[in-house]
Every structure is written in structure tokens, then in C-alpha cells.
Copies of this chain bind each other. A is one copy, B any other.
Amino acid sequence: MQPDTSTRDRLIDAMLDGLRRRGYHGLGLAEVLAAANAPKGVLYHHFKDGKSELAVAAIEKASADMLQRLDTLLTRSASFSDALRTWFEAAQKQLHASGFERGCPLAAIALQTSADDVEIRAALARAFEAIRSRLQSALEAAGLSPAQARRNATLIVAAYEGALIQTRVAGRGDAMAEAGAALFALLEAP
């Protein structure tokens, strides 16, 4: 029983960080392996389909992490709006702290897979659906109809990802703050 994280976990973490910064095709395995301090051969023991399988594992971890953070926020916050506000602010801070390099890995991969990357697409679709679903149930709990809740959940996710893109490109946090402010104002409108 060894306390240090296993090679497999280190590979996933390194992949995740790389995906956030460079996206799927922009990221070379050499960089991932160096970050994980792992030799080349070991990758294909843990992920026999190579890069794509590792990416799927990374997506699933990212999805689980996001979901859990979101869940914590939703249960601990006084209101749905408060939770959302904290969520957006945290994303903005994280992006700022990394010099606007570390965005959302889901979006980064989503825009550079082609239709034949079946496994990856499926993993992404599952991840987005899980987050939308969690937001939807929170909105229903707040009194919205299922259909309304679903639509607003999709919009929130869209605003989150879209604002991250603009923020990243601009190299300034404004977009995230602006989109968040507009969204909260609209959602809270009587």
C-alpha cells in the first residue's frame, strides 16, 4: 500500500492539465509523460488505445470533479443564484491565476474532435449532460417547470463556456464577469 498517487492517476492528471492549456491536438504525449514523470511504454499498459483512451479518462475525471464541486456549491449556498455566482467567480479566478491559460478541458476538446472520434465525443456528451442535469434539478427545486429548468440549465452551461472562451482570448477577466452579471440579473428578475 503506497501513499503516492499511482502512475495511472498521475497520467490522467497530467493529461487533464495539458488539455486545459493546449486542447487535444495541440498537446503532445511527450509533454504529458514528462509532467507525469512516466516513461512512454507505461501509457499503453494502462490505456491500450493510447491518447484517445487517456483523454476519455481525463474527461471523465474532469466531469466528476466539476459535478462534485457544483453539488457542494448547490447544497451549501443560500440560494441557487449564490451558488452560480460562486461558480463563475471561481472559474474566473482560476483562469486569472494561470495567466488565462487553464480553461475548461471539456470545451477545449469539444472543438477539435472530428466525428470519428466516437469515444471522446460520447464521453463529452455524457459530461455536459450530467452538468446540465444537475443544474436542472436544482432549478426545479427552486420552482421552475421541468422544461424551463432544462432550458435555463443549458443556457447557464453555455454562458459559462462561452464566457471562458472570450476571457481566455482577451487575456482579461472582464468577459466572465460581464456575462455572469448579465446572467444573474436576468435570472433574478422578478
Q: Which of A22, A158, A181, A189 has the most CB of B within 10 A?
A: A158
Of residues 135 through 157 on chain A, the ones whose CB sits less than 8 Å from some CB of chain B are 148, 150-152, 154-155, 157
Q: Tell me, yes or no, whether A71 is within 8 Å of chain B by CB.
A: no
Please tell me how many copies of the chain the complex holds.
4
What CA separation (Å) do A148 and B167 show in the bound complex? Answer: 18
User: Does A121 sit at the interface, judged by CB under 8 A?
Assistant: yes
Answer whether residue A73 sits at the interface, using C-beta atoms and an 8 A cutoff.
no
Asked whether any CB of chain B lies closer than 8 Å to the CB of A115, the reply is yes
Of chain B, the residue at the smallest CB distance from A155 is B182
- Among B25, B158, B186, which residue has its beta carbon within 8 angstroms of that of A25? B25
25 sampled A-B residue pairs with Cβ under 8 A: A22-B25, A22-B112, A24-B112, A99-B115, A103-B111, A110-B165, A111-B168, A112-B112, A115-B171, A125-B171, A128-B175, A129-B170, A151-B178, A151-B179, A154-B178, A154-B182, A155-B182, A155-B186, A158-B161, A158-B162, A158-B175, A161-B166, A186-B186, A186-B187, A186-B189
List of 10 A-B pairs having minimum Cβ-Cβ separation, nearest first: A158-B162, A162-B162, A23-B112, A155-B182, A186-B186, A161-B162, A25-B25, A151-B182, A25-B26, A154-B178
